[in-house]
Structure 1
């Protein structure tokens, strides 16, 4: 694909949040919204966008305090991130869209589907939603322990996230690069966003989300328990495209997966 009219745009949510996003492709094309993961930014989808069909309208969003987006707000829930993305769809007058998110972005995509049931036609998770240690609602003891790891030793906690998303054989230099990048997330939003993720009740969110959901999950990272728990709610498709960050590592193949999702 040769990008058509790629532009960086801004939408302001009240006085506390400015969201930056990139719009690519014809304004009247079928819309695909791309949401990055925690500690990352819309640049993760730059190469993916370049491999999508020419007629696709692609909106790649920087979540608050990630990439070029800024916010001084006090609320850092997954629902609030969903409102960031919903504001972009509203600004672009999108009437129908597939919303795809990587990792934490997959949780945000679910919330966008819940917020905009008449607009979002399909939710896609790129190695998200199947991690049972994060996504289902945790009891307060486990929640406090998870958040405490980031507050007590942030670099080590980030390293743990990256290691957990790295199948055997992942290049150590690649893992180090992800650790460095994610570890540089702006604070306090970075830690607060992790808290929002850990406190997110995915089961409740799924009950309020009616769209079909497709999960492209790294084969070596899928737990049978996740398949047993959620197999009747979303379609889990194993992929062999690299680590948890496979959209960065395999952009052409990721674009092929996304292009195959219908409304």
Structure 2
């Protein structure tokens, strides 16, 4: 796939007195819109190399969620729905009539919620190694939720390292794991812990029941449990990929761009019955 010299505009939208969302926009203003949403404790720059490999006719919006990257917020609500409102504000500012929303990790949950918020605008939801981790995405019991949140409150670095390890196939590059850990452990607080709490309290099954758009999941083969495919295979179009770790959009940007371009071209636009 060709790499394009894209002119990138750094923009922002103010949702209210307590939240300012920064994002980048590239490609023609009248092109088909693809929104890229990063994962927990990550940032929009994770998609820079992916964007460079996307077809030049696409309008690509890469969003920093509240208290990630350049975005700032002093709000008290850190749910997936509230993060989705960050993305919805960008789509409103861009006057987008239709859009495909793709999210990595926690961003996949956010993408589903954007689809629920904007059913007339979002035509397809894409999850990049997201939605198939059964210990994170389906709603957990109150006891499980409290245990997870307590782990992050009591030993935040240890909890982050556990996430990185869980997202790394056997034999994965230790230096890359350390780089991911360093970046994610530096997430601003209280948003870091509160966002994890919002994720484990998220009712994914209810959200998917209300989501009318097709949902495609590109999941790392070595990290995807058969139980997840059995549970969600009739609702999600789960495509197993061999592109690296949980952070494969960073490790394999050209291949990731090819997957997203395929969705944009309509090759994966039909929801399974």
Question: Structure 2 length as normaliser, TM-score?
Answer: 0.95
Counterparts of 1:104-123 in structure 2, within 5 Å, are 104-123=106-125
Give the 3 Å change call, closer, same or farther, for CA 112–3 of structure 1 in structure 2: farther
Query: Contact (CA 8 Å) 2:6, 2:52: kept in 1 or not?
Result: no
What is the alpha-carbon distance in structure 1 between the residues aligned to residue 144 and residue 190 of structure 2?
21
Q: Over aligned residue pairs, what C-alpha RMSD do you find?
A: 0.7
Hey, what does 1:204 align to over in structure 2? Answer: 206
The answer as to whether partners of 2:6 and 2:56 remain within 8 angstroms in 1 is yes
CA displacement, residues 176-235 of structure 1 (integer Å, 9 cap, x when unaligned): 000000000001111111110110000011011100000000000111111111011111
After TM superposition, give the deviation of residue 248 of structure 1 in Å: 0.2
CA distance 1:116–1:163, shift in 2 (3 Å): same
Counterpart residue number, 1:2: 4
Indicate if the aligned counterparts of 1:19 and 1:63 stay in contact, CA closer than 8 A: yes
Which of 81, 84, 99 is the equivalent residue of 1:82? 84
Q: Per-residue deviation at 1:6?
A: 1.0
Structure 1: state its 5+ residue gaps: none
CA distance in 2, matches of 1:73, 1:17: 7
Report what 2:172 is aligned to: 170
2:236 matches 1:234? yes
Q: Residue in 2 aligned with 1:52? A: 54
3-state SS of the aligned residue for 1:22? strand
CA distance in 2, matches of 1:2, 1:133: 39
Q: Which runs of 5+ in 2 are unaligned?
A: none
Q: How far apart are the structure 2 equivalents of 1:123 and 1:219?
A: 20
TM-score computed with the length of structure 1 as normaliser? 0.99
State yes or no: 1:100 paired with 2:102: yes
Q: Which runs of 4+ in 1 moved over 3 A?
A: none
How many aligned positions are there?
A: 263
- Which of residues 144, 147, 164 in structure 1 aligns to 2:146? 144
Cα distance per residue 1:10-42 (max 9 Å; x no partner) = 000110000000000000001000000000000
Find the aligned partners of 2:144 and 2:170 in 1 and give their Cα distance. 27
Give, in angstroms, the shift of residue 106 of structure 1: 0.2
Aligned to 1:214: 216
Report the Cα offset of residue 169 of structure 1.
1.3
| Matched-pair contact (CA < 8 Å) for 1:99–1:122 | yes
State the alpha-carbon separation in 2 of the partners of residues 243 and 53 from structure 1: 25
Q: State whether structure 2 residue 37 is matched by structure 1 residue 35.
A: yes
